[in-house]
Amino acid sequence: MAKAADIPVTHYRTADIDGVSIFYREAGPADAPVVLLLHGFPTSSHMFRNLIPALADRYHVIAPDYPGFGESAAPDHKQFAYTFAHYADLMDGLVDKLGVKQYALYLMDYGAPVGYRLAIKHPERVTALVIQNGNAYEEGLKKFWDPIKAYWADGSDAHREALSFLVKPETTKFQYTDGVSDVTRIDPDNWGHDQPLLDRPGNKDIQLDLFLDYGTNVPLYPKFQEFFRERQPPALIVWGKNDTIFPADGAYPYKRDLPKVEFHLLDTGHFALEDKADEMIPLIHDFLDRNIAAK
């Protein structure tokens, strides 16, 4: 029987970063190598609830919520810049406040541009990359992105409103179930958690602002790729290959710039951790143990 001390405890905390309340989950030894978990849309650090204790036996795990997501503050979009540059600055402020000097990055969906912006800002801080359905190549922006690209092109009200389907309940559920062979492995609490937060007054405009700003990440892809080539961080890809949003087309190009990447395509969809944690967690833990664990 496991002793109480052997079972990692997750703490649920908030920090004031540039006047914004940022919620984060934290677990593991304070002096251990840090793993920074960066979530995707439409969820929050909630997506890492099962991964955190599995890594916290040996790592100091930090999983924040971006403003407008999860338990972090959600200022009015007319008074607050909902941009990926701003998110990266706030995450940078959080790790500075926590005294973190280096970190491995877990990058998923929105977490990829947030994390890669951190990486090109402080390349010396990044000890490793765990990439799960997080894009850095134009090959990964397929048909799903066409209406979003139309919005990028003109920012029109019509194209903005056309993206309203992305915050509707059926789309939230779709993101968890599409491409999954056994949906009995998917906890319905996921969309039960995410959708009420999406439905908060004003949150639709927050998300539509972010859909527009996502276009600012694409011109940075060459800089992200330059970071890969120049720094050659240890990298692990654990990617749901049936993802409609970030298909495997976006996973393969990493091999061009990270020839030593450990590459795993899993038979699942967008939120791969939800039904493939039994495969992913051993891969992630072993990868971190070989590359960043304290000797």
Q: CB under 8 Å to 194, separation ≥6 — which residues?
A: 42, 43, 44, 46, 172
- Side by side, the strands of the sheet bearing 262-266 are 10-17, 20-27, 60-64, 34-38, 103-107, 126-131, 235-240, 262-266
Burial of 31 (0-12, 13-18, 19+ CB in 10 A): exposed
CB 283 within 8 A of CB 106: no
Known catalytic membership, residue 39: no
CB 148 within 8 A of CB 155: no
Of residues 60, 77, 193, 270, which has the active-site annotation? 270
Q: Which residues are catalytic?
A: 270
